[in-house]
Amino acid sequence: MSWEKEGKEGSLLKWYDIMEAEKYEYTVGPAGERFFQGLKENKIVGSKCKKCGKVYLPPRIYCEDCFTKIEEYVELKLDDAYLDSFTTIYQNDDGQKLTEPVHIGLLRFKGVNGGLFCYLEGTPKKGGRIRVSNFNYPLRISIE
Amino acid sequence: MKVNIHLNKRVAVIGAGMTQFRRRILETPQEIAWEASSKALEEAGLELKDIECVVIGSAPDAFDGVNLKGEYLSHGSGGIRKPSSRVFVGGATGVMAAITGWYHVASGMCNTVLVVAEEKMSPARPHPQSVFRYIWDPILEKPLNPNLIWIFAMEMHRYMATYGIKKEEIALVSVKNKRNAANNPYAQLGGNITVDDVLNSEVLVWPVQLLDISPVSDGGAAMVMASEDVARRYSDTPIWVDGVGWTLDNTEWPARDLAYPRYLEFAARMAYKMAGIENPYKELDVIEPYDPFDYKELHHIEGLRIAKRGEAPKLLKEGVFDIDGDIPSSPSGGLLGVGNPIAAAGLMKVISIYWQLKGTAGKMQVKKPVHTGLAQAWGDLMQASTVIIMRN
């Protein structure tokens, strides 16, 4: 296929440039600040809609269904945590083989909307208790 | 006389909401969109479940720094599990979002639409201007590293040269708009300045000086549009959309007439025809022309056929466009005074006219009674224009 052929640099008229802003500085928002402050205290914080009772992770300042403002923040219990899915990555974005495969898990909590992508340490398996070994974002978790 | 345009439904605006426009808002783009949207629903007396369609307006993804911004914003815009779409015509987006909301209802497709516009200009470093670096032709224009300020400095210079307009005359727009913005609770840069302040401000790119130009802002705006039957049920004062128009002119910068905004004349004629307006100077009561730069408001007033070519500065000096004038222009304070979160600024102009016609503009309310208003925005490669005409 054509993309496998080697191109002849310089044989065609070309113009090289880059296209990006140098960098971005994002704000995490009021709910995001509660979430990241919580992680510093080894807590996972969600937010709860007082109208429908839905709990959001990561926390939000509004309920996507009721559209009302959320002001209540709740600490989620690791007893309710479970691994919804996981995957194992063998190559990096450039297609090179990683020296160690990386496991990524989707961490969720019973009765909570949303979840968090985490690095998964040890051997992934179904069921089992979730342990968080590192609360710095992105979280590192393992299954006991 | 109104032309015979076949529409299934008459469309009204029944609620609007805005966030404050500020330089660096703590809230995320989704949260900004939610704040504006929930306020609009509240004013309309509707809940999210009453909304059938969502239209999101947002300018380049690169401002907020999230690709697929329409999809990203839909969460805070009430667009989940609904037909949601995003419109994007650069700076003209804010009014285009309202026009899109209008045809969702006018076509008979749905009875209620939430129109949301959001922009967060502050995340890009070193300056959001760098986002504009890549809108030019990559081979012919980009090597000169154009930015919006020097490209408009070129346009401003041509406008001044063609009609013999002085900088003092143009500076009056900045003075007027910042003065109007002092009455706007959402405004970022309201205040009393003088022509001398503008002329003595830092020269950025001659003839553009610091006070000739709108600031970098974050903000959101939202509006609820509804069909006539729904509007009459929920509102005693529905504001009717009577004309819309949008046009794209030549996309090549070097090929356009810089002294006159032809792109706008075409868009305005389309909207006037629909609204049955033959003499805009006599028939329009209040206007919100797009004013990212002070000369641009004058330029656009001429493109709207409210003033003859080169004569807008004369009318401005006579006070025609003041808050107590014949045709108050940018009573909100415009982009120069309220701020310029691109798409949200365009929708802010539509909302300003809506509040004026409804009589709920508070301290911004113009002195004379108003029945017909117009809002306009401008953008893309600066050749797209969008116009909306409303009546009470």
User: d(Cα A30, Cα B18) in Å, to the nearest integer?
Assistant: 18
CB of B34 less than 8 A from some CB of A: yes
Rounded to an integer, the average pLDDT of A35-61 is 96
Give residue B1's pLDDT.
Answer: 41
Domain ranges (residues) in chain B = 9-124+216-230, 127-214+240-389
Give residue B37's pLDDT.
Answer: 98
CB within 8 Å: B75 and A23: no
Burial class (CB in 10 A: 0-12, 13-18, 19+), A79: exposed
CB count, 10 Å around CB of B342? 29
Which CATH number applies to B127-214+240-389: 3.90.1150.10, 3.40.50.20, 3.40.47.10, 1.10.150.20? 3.40.47.10
Q: What is the pLDDT of residues B54-96, one digit of tens each?
A: 999 998 888 888 889 999 999 999 999 999 999 999 999 999 9
CB of B210 less than 8 A from some CB of A: no
User: d(Cα B261, Cα B302) in Å, to the nearest integer?
Assistant: 8
CB within 8 Å: A62 and B31: yes
CB of A71 less than 8 A from some CB of B: no
Lowest mean pLDDT among A13-17, A21-25, B320-324: A13-17
Measuring CA to CA, how many Å separate B52 from each of B80, B103, B237? 11, 13, 21
pTM: 0.92
Architecture of domain B9-124+216-230: 3-Layer(aba) Sandwich (3.40)
Give residue B300's pLDDT.
Answer: 97
**Residues in a beta bridge with B113:** B53, B225
Span between the terminal Cα atoms of chain B, in Å? 18
CB within 8 Å: A27 and B25: yes
CB within 8 Å: B25 and A28: no
Residue A2 pLDDT more than 80? no
Q: Give B-chain residues touching A66 at CB under 8 angstroms.
A: 48
CB within 8 Å: A27 and B142: no
Q: What is the pLDDT of residues B97-117, one digit of tens each?
A: 999 999 999 999 999 999 999
High-pLDDT (> 70) share of chain B, % = 99
Query: Letter for the amino acid at B361?
Result: A
CB within 8 Å: B38 and A64: no
Give residue B104's pLDDT.
Answer: 96
CB of B147 less than 8 A from some CB of A: no
CB count, 10 Å around CB of B134? 15
Instruction: Tell me the fold of A10-141.
Output: OB fold (Dihydrolipoamide Acetyltransferase, E2P) (2.40.50)
Query: Letter for the amino acid at B282?
Result: K
C-beta contacts of A114-123 below 8 A and 24+ residues apart: A114/A46, A114/A56, A114/A57, A114/A58, A115/A57, A115/A84, A116/A44, A116/A57, A116/A58, A120/A83, A120/A86
Which residue's structure tokens are 């210079």?
B157
CB within 8 Å: A24 and B124: yes
Give this complex's ipTM.
0.82
Q: Phi-psi region for residue B339, left (φ > 0), alpha (ψ -120 to 50) or beta?
A: left
Q: Give A-chain residues touching B25 at CB under 8 angstroms.
A: 27
Q: Binning pLDDT at 50, 70 and 90, where does residue B5 land?
A: low
Give residue B3's pLDDT.
Answer: 54
Q: What is the pLDDT of residues A60-78, one digit of tens each?
A: 999 999 999 999 999 999 9
CB within 8 Å: A27 and B24: yes
Give residue B146's pLDDT.
Answer: 86
User: d(Cα B324, Cα B331) in Å, to the nearest integer?
Assistant: 10
CB of B23 less than 8 A from some CB of A: no
Q: Which residue of chain A has the CA closest to B81?
A: A65
Q: Are B212 and B295 in contact (CB under 8 A)?
A: yes
Q: Give B-chain residues touching A60 at CB under 8 angstroms.
A: 31
Residue A14 pLDDT more than 70? no
- Chain B interface, mutation test: which of A12, A24, A36, A113, most B Cβ atoms within 10 Å? A24
Residue A35 pLDDT more than 60? yes
Residue A1 pLDDT more than 50? no
Q: Give B-chain residues touching A70 at CB under 8 angstroms.
A: none
Q: What is the pLDDT of residues B258-309, one digit of tens each?
A: 999 999 999 999 999 999 999 999 999 999 999 999 999 999 999 999 999 9
Partner residue facing B125 (CB), from A21, A61, A67: A21
Q: Give B-chain residues touching A32 at CB under 8 angstroms.
A: 28
CB of A6 less than 8 A from some CB of B: no
Q: Which residue of chain B has the CA closest to A59?
A: B31
B245 CB-near residues (< 8 Å, 6+ apart): B266, B267, B268, B269, B270, B271, B272, B274, B386, B387
- Same CATH topology for B9-124+216-230 and B127-214+240-389: the answer is yes
CB pairs under 8 A between A and B: 66
User: d(Cα A33, Cα A56) in Å, to the nearest integer?
Assistant: 15
Q: Give B-chain residues touching A20 at CB under 8 angstroms.
A: 62
CA distance A117 to chain B (A): 18
